[in-house]
Chain A
């Protein structure tokens, strides 16, 4: 049990967040709720990427003083990718929220089911 947890707990957390995020996006009608779901989804993806780069008993990839061996450092590449992904995520969220504000001014509701100006 413990070793299973040690192996998989981060993956479980990451994919749990991803699934909950998807669930919110698919089910909820409120636009702000959907945007919250997007945020949770992003967090999950970031956690997954970081856990891919982890090495057991690793240290952070920073040579902050002398005598740090490079043998057990974790992979720096996913960390760089996640830095990028976090910033992209916040950019999308900010734009989405501004659109939500405008949408509310136009329709006086945020319920996506009620906003049906355009049909197929």
Chain B
């Protein structure tokens, strides 16, 4: 019964959507907004990666909201998983020597790679979210390989909080200097140089630290025996 209803529902959805898909041919250029971003993106923002300039600058407000969503999820996870009574730690089986050594060797490399990804977000594919996720996966590796280690919650909370604050403050500085929230008030420099694109790299670095510490915090909260 339930299955039949579900399938009928799905068929209706499919038919409806395919009707409206006829208006959206695959592969045809459709938009003037995207066109303008491509043509004038470098001049406007100084970033050669147009996606980055859209994410951080043209639609930076979305990104602020998105960072907030992740922040909320991390807090909510803390709310749901905190316990009033502390149970004793379960005995942890240590990892084998090979895993341990491998993880310790890889961890700094992953951190460097993550940092590289978000520092170069305005030049190459990648950026704060991807870099942050890579850093968080480094911490995941530490949890697998060196099981008794834990991240320092104070430091990670600080990174979260400061990352968010830097984003908001840069936005407000734009309001002060240029009259618009998130206005790109720093010099844009020459395209394709590391120090270019004004506020974009700064914002992306802040996002990178924030996302990295938040995802690592989420993993830490989930993995903790409670």
Contact = CB atoms under 8 A, between A and B. Distances in A.
B72 to A, nearest CB: 7
Contact of A19 (B13, B21, B48): B13
Interface stretch (B49-57, B157-165, B194-202): B49-57
Contacts of B62: 80-81, 84
Contacts of A51: 26
Interface string B100-128: 00000000000000000000000111010
A104 to B, nearest CB: 12
B149 interface: no
A8 B26 CA distance: 7
Given A11-B26, A19-B13, A56-B28, A80 B51 contact: yes
A87 B77 contact: no
B90 interface: no
Nearest to B53: A76
A52 B33 CA distance: 14
B222 A80 contact: no
Interface residues of A, number: 45
A101 B81 CA distance: 8
Contact of B73 (A10, A26, A91): A91
Interface stretch (B2-10, B91-99, B138-146, B174-182): B2-10
Contacts of B77: 94-95, 98
Contacts of B29: 55, 75
A23 B10 contact: yes
Interface in A79-112: 79-81, 83-84, 86-88, 90-92, 94-95, 97-99, 101-102
A26 B63 contact: no
Contacts of B192: 63, 65
B73 A15 contact: no
Contact of A91 (B18, B28, B72): B72
Contacts of A73: 38, 50
Nearest to B11: A19
B73 A80 contact: no
B28 A98 contact: no
A102 B77 CA distance: 10
Given A77-B34, A94-B74, 15 more contacts: A23-B6, A26-B6, A26-B9, A55-B28, A60-B125, A61-B50, A62-B49, A63-B192, A76-B50, A77-B33, A84-B66, A87-B70, A88-B69, A98-B80, A101-B80
17 contacts: A7-B27, A8-B26, A10-B26, A19-B13, A27-B2, A56-B28, A60-B125, A61-B37, A63-B49, A64-B123, A75-B29, A75-B30, A76-B34, A90-B70, A94-B74, A95-B76, A95-B80
